[in-house]
Each structure stands twice: as structure tokens, then as C-alpha cells.
Structure 1
Amino acid sequence: MAIFLQLAGTGLVLVSLVDIFLTVLHPRSESNLLSIPVAQVVWYLFRAGAQGPLKRRDRMLSYGGPTIIVTLIGVWVLLLLLGFALIVWPGLGGGIQAQQGETPTDFVTALYYTGFSLATLGTGDLVPQGATYRLLMILKSLLGFSVFTLVLSYVLSVYNALTCRNTFALSLHHRSADTANSANLLAHLAAGNDTRSLQQNTASIAQNLMQLLELNNSYPLLLYFRYRQTYYALPRVIYLAIDTATLVKTALDQDHYSSVIQAAGTAELWCGGLHLLEEVDQAIASNSGGLPKEPQEPLWREHYYRALETLKDCGIHTTQNPAGGANAYVSMRRKWAPQLHKLIRYMAYKPNHIFQ
């Protein structure tokens, strides 16, 4: 029985340490053991409990990200605490003795003794007697201190990454004249029909998108930080970036803007947006759904023609073949719209809050 308990405890400790290693020291979206499942469960509970008026629902969902971080840390600590408690439990009254009186041998005492060691508070009123339990106490103290330091650095890194994401979101929001309209964004980027300025602006947005892609890959829990202000929404950031690239390729005059259409920045914006959607899709539950059942292509064409009018009103040279451009736009949008709608639904947004 004692061996079984200690093996089970060792397994719990290893699970916790492996997940801490994968989440903190090897931060990639594809390498995790507990972090993504824990995040999905907590987010599901928040979505299920977020009922009532829109403002109240958005306010409740805005606490989802911080709660996931706290829950994940709690799971790590709980696994370490339970695991080491199972390891030392058979040693109570033998290899571990009370300084005064009879040594309790219940599991709560094992938790108490383990908690003292993991918190680096010492041994309390229980003292290890043999070399094995003394070395185990040192190991628990070292792990407790290391886990505390790693968790603190991870939390700081997550919030630094979140600040970078929010800064990029605000930049796109204000560049699009405080709207979710990619045509407005492109009109400002291409103001004056200056191809060099448009190329530089596109490259700048693409660089920020590449940074966001890497941050999301390193810290996939960023996905679950959902603010009440929709201009911070990750789906809106992705939409503005990737739809702008789609309009550059299909709505602008092919001759005047050929250097921009073929530029590396435009390719980064397009491919990076698709890549980011693929990365996010891996962290989303498979039953989140895709496009709505109603036909979407007529709405896409309507959006495209409205974008052409917006660009023309701003004096931007647009394509000389609007019908062909609309077909190309619809064809390109099919490549990213299903994943974007899946993300919008998973994050409990309404489509009209994300794009116009």
C-alpha cells in the first residue's frame, strides 16, 4: 500500500513539473499537458455563466483570462502538494517524527508537513529523521522556491505580452478611424496614392502582426483575455490585418500599386494572418462551429463594393475590373472566414462587434 501511494504521489509531482516546464520554460502552443485543457474548462464555465444583459456578460467574461492564470497556478500547486503528501504519508510516525508527543499519521498531517516544506517555511513541529526524508525535504524546498520564481516570471511575461497585443489593437483601431472597417484602415494607409508610404505602413503592421503571432504561440493563454472594449478583441485585430491584406490584393489598382501588392510586407500580412488563425484554432474546442448557416458570400461581395466606394471617395486608385476583384476577394476570404467566425463564436462575440 505504501509503495502504491508513493508511486501515485510521484506521478502527480511529475505531471505538475512537466506542465510547468512546458508552459513556462518551453512556451509553445503545441507543447502543453494541462494548461490548454484547464483554460478550456474554465472558459467554458465562464461562457456558461455569462448570462443576462450584454454589458454584464462582457464584464463577467473579462475576468476569464486572469481566473485561468490563477486556476492553472492553483492546479500546479495542488498537484505538488498532493503528490508530495502521498510520498511522505507512509513515513509519518517512522521517518518523520513530531518534536513533542505522538506523531499524527493522518493525510491532513502529511499535507501540513508538505506545505511547510514547499513554502520553504522549514519543517514546523514535524522533523525528518532519516537521510531519505531529510533529502526529500530539501528537494521540496528547492522545488517550492523554483516554482514560485518561475510562476512569477511567467505571469509577468504574460502581462507584458498582453500589453503588446493591446497596443497593436489600439493602433489598428485608431488607424481605422475608431471603427472595425478595414476599408477605412486601407484608405488611411494609402492616403495620397503614395505607394512608398503604403508599402512602409503595410510592412509596419505586418511586423506587429508577426510579433503578435509569436506572442500567441509562446503564451496561448493570451487568447482568453477578453476585454469589455471590443477594439481590444483578438478576432478584430486579426480581421483588420488579414482583410486589409485581402483588399490590397483585390481592390487596389494592379498597375499603380503593383509594387505594394507584390511587397514582402503584404505577403507577411496575408500569410501571417492565416498562420495566426491556424495557431489560435489549435487552442479552440473542436465543437465551436464555423460559418453561420445563412449564405455569406453575398455579404462579402457587398462589403467589397462598399470598400471600393470608400477607397474611391478618398481618392485611392482602385481596380479597373470590380467584378473580377470581387470574385478574387470572395475566393481569398473563403480561406480565412470560417476560422475567424469560429474564433468569434468561441470568444462569445457577435460578428457585428468584430467587423463592419
Structure 2
Amino acid sequence: MQTAQIVIGLAIILFTYLDFFHTTLSGNGFGIFSRIVNQILNRIMIQNRTRTIFKFSGITHLLITTFLWMLLLFIGTYIVFSAGEEMVVNSTTGLPATHPERFYYTGYVLSTLGIGDFVPGTDTSRILTGILSFSGFILITTGLTYLLSVLNAVLAKKQLSFLISTMGNDIEEIFIFYKQQDDLENLISNAGDVRQQILKNASSYLAFPMANYFLSKNHESALILQLARLYEVIMIIRLDWSEETVQYKKLSAIINGIKKYLELGLEDANAASHNEEELKTYRSHWMNHGYYFKNDLAVDKQFSSSLKYAGWNWKEVYKLKDEE
């Protein structure tokens, strides 16, 4: 029983660290546990979009996920130290520690405080104490480094969002911004930088997935909303140019960057319902300018899902400034 309990405790610790390091260091998105937790949290946040808590969505995701990692680590370690009476003893009397005392011992082992009023009572416990004393330290220090990286990724998202918003306050203004340039000289000169920033943020989906749960109710700082507007406009503007032109190729490069951003998204394309007819209604807006939008169902579905779980929808994409 003692060996089995130690194995169970160590299995929980191992699972915790696999999920933790996969999320923070692998560059391949969330671990299984973290993904489930954050998707559930995201659903809760979206349902409370009108409340103050929505403004703290990112930090809520970060704190709760970190807390759950530490809780699992604590539970696993406590199970290990409760595997036998001699696993933890009083350093003065040599008597086995009670369960509250083991709880206390677990806390200071993981925090590496080393107070010394309770000590491991067996060689197995001494070895495990030596190993586990590093666990909390590693989680805390790596977690702090990850936090700084997440904040940098959040700032990069806002920077790109603000860049797009400077082109116009709504989809019509962005369209006019480009149509006023006969040869798109401004776009051509900046297309590489815009595409690079889009791809940089796309990589954040994998390297720092937590950054994508820092949601905003502000149009200017909502990246997925701004990217949807930019995508819609560029798809229309591109119709003015033949495939051999530099303008067409530059516009296509930006569109491909946006598609890559969506492909690496946290939400599957089928995570949210997609109403193709409703979207066609919104896109009829371009008929006022003599254009017909060519739908790409795969991209449209991915956008619908990404918009929904960032607190937005296609109606907001096409909402004009004077309608707000």
C-alpha cells in the first residue's frame, strides 16, 4: 500500500509537470489539462462579457491555471508524504507527524523554506524530499519567466491591432484608406512588416497560448476583430489586380499570413456554429461598391469560431462607426 500510494503521488506530480512544461516551454500550445481548463474558463468569460470580470479575463486564466498546477503538485506531494507513518516525523520527538503536520511539511518542502521542525523519517522519504524540494522552486521560477513572455505577447497583439485600427475605425474606412491609393504604394511598402507581425502573433498561439485569452471589449485592441476587417477589405481590394502584379502578390501575402494565424488558433473551426447565409448578408455591403465577395468556407468557419470565443461576431466586423 505504501509503495502504491507513493507511485500514485509521483504520477500526479509527473502529470502536472508534463502539462506545465508542455504549456510553458514546448512552444506547442497547451497541455491536455491546461487546454481543457482554459477552454472552460473562456466559455465562462464569454457568457459574462458585459461584466467587469471580462476585463480581467487574461489574468484570471493565468492565475487559475497556475493555481491548479500548484494544487496538483501539492496534492501529489502530500500523497507521497502520507504513504507511511515514518515518511515524516517530528525532528525533536521522532514521533510520526499527524495529517495536518504532513500538510504543513508538504508546504514548506515545496516552498524550499526548510524550517526543520519536521523531517523525513526514512531513506526513501529523504530522497523524495530532496527531489521534491526543487519542484515548487522550478514551477515558481519558470512560471514567472512564462508570465513575462505572455505579457510581451499580449503587447505584440495590441500593437498589431492598433496598427490596423489606424487605417480606419471601421471596415468602410479601411476600404477607403486603400482605395485612395491608386497603386497601393503605401501597402506595398508596409506589407512585409504587417505580414511579419501577423505571423509573429500566430506563433504566439503555440509559444504562449495563454496570451490569446487576454480579451478586450475595445474594438481597437481586439486583434481578431481587426484581422477580420483587414481580411475582408484585402479580399475585395485584391479583385482590382491581376495575379501577375506586385499588388496582387503583396495582398496575397497578407491574406496567407492571416490564414496561418487562424490555422494556429486555439479554437477549432467547428467549435462554434457558422451561418453562411448571415455572412453573405453582411458581405452584400460590398455590392454598394460594385464588388462581389468570393467566400472561402474553411477560412470563414475558422473566423466565426475565433471571433465567438474572443467575444465578437461578424456583425461587429461589419458594424460602421456611425452605428455604434
Q: TM-score, normalised by structure 2?
A: 0.88
Q: Is the 8 A contact 1:230 1:354 kept in 2?
A: no
Counterpart position of 1:239: 228
Q: Is the 8 A contact 2:170 2:318 kept in 1?
A: yes
> What is the CA distance between 1:155 and its match in structure 2?
0.7
Match of 1:331 in 2: 295
- CA contact 2:269–2:305 (8 Å) conserved in 1: no
Q: Secondary structure at the match of 2:140?
A: helix
Q: What displacement does 1:153 show? A: 0.4
SS of the equivalent of 1:97 reads strand
Distance 2:211 2:317 in 1: 18
Cα deviations across residues 58-85 of structure 1 (Å, max 9, x unaligned)? 5322222211111111111111111011
Deviation at 1:206, TM superposition (A): 1.3
C-alpha change, 1:228 and 1:124, in structure 2 (3 Å) is farther
Q: Which residue of structure 2 lines up, in the alignment, with residue 180 of structure 1?
A: 170
Partners of 1:59 and 1:152 in 2: CA distance: 26
Partner Cα separation in structure 2 for residue 41 and residue 298 of structure 1: 32
Q: Give yes or no for the alignment of 1:262 onto 2:249.
A: yes
Say how many residue pairs are matched: 319
Q: Cα distance 1:96–1:58, how it changes in 2: closer, same or farther (>3 A)?
A: closer
Contact 1:297 1:330 in 2 (8 A): no
**1:223·1:234 contact (CA, 8 Å) conserved in 2?**
no
SS in structure 2 opposite 1:221? helix
Partner of 1:39: 38
- Aligned partners of 1:40, 1:150: CA distance in 2, in Å? 23
Tell me the SS of whatever aligns to 1:144: helix
Q: Deviation at 1:147?
A: 1.2
Task: Tell me the equivalent position of 1:303.
Answer: 285
Aligned position for 1:26? 26
Q: Does 1:115 align with 2:107?
A: yes
Shift of 1:188: 2.7
CA gap of 1:111–1:241, structure 2 versus 1, over 3 A, is farther
AA of the residue aligned to 2:300: A
Separation in 1 of the partners of 2:78 and 2:184? 66
Q: Normalized against structure 1, the TM-score is what?
A: 0.81
Relative to structure 1, the CA distance from residue 287 to residue 95 in structure 2 (aligned partners, 3 Å threshold; closer, same or farther) is: closer
How far 1:107 sits from its partner (Å)?
A: 3.5
Which residue of structure 2 lines up, in the alignment, with residue 220 of structure 1?
A: 209
Return closer, same or farther for 1:155/1:285 CA change in 2, 3 Å cut-off: farther
Alpha carbons 1:190, 1:198 under 8 Å: kept: no
1:106 deviates by 4.1
- In structure 1, runs of 5+ residues without a counterpart are 309-321
Q: Of 67, 78, 93, which residue of structure 2 is paired with 1:74?
A: 67
| Equivalence for 1:165 | 157
Instruction: Provide the alpha-carbon RMSD of the alignment.
Output: 2.5
1:32-111 alignment, distance < 5 Å: 32-48=31-47, 50=48, 57=50, 59-92=52-85, 94-101=86-93, 103=95, 105-111=97-103
Name the residue aligned to 1:319: none
Describe the SS at the equivalent of 1:34: helix
Distance 1:192 1:153 in 2: 44
Moved more, 197-206 or 184-193: 184-193
Q: Using the alignment, how far apart are the partners of 1:161 and 1:105 within structure 2?
A: 46
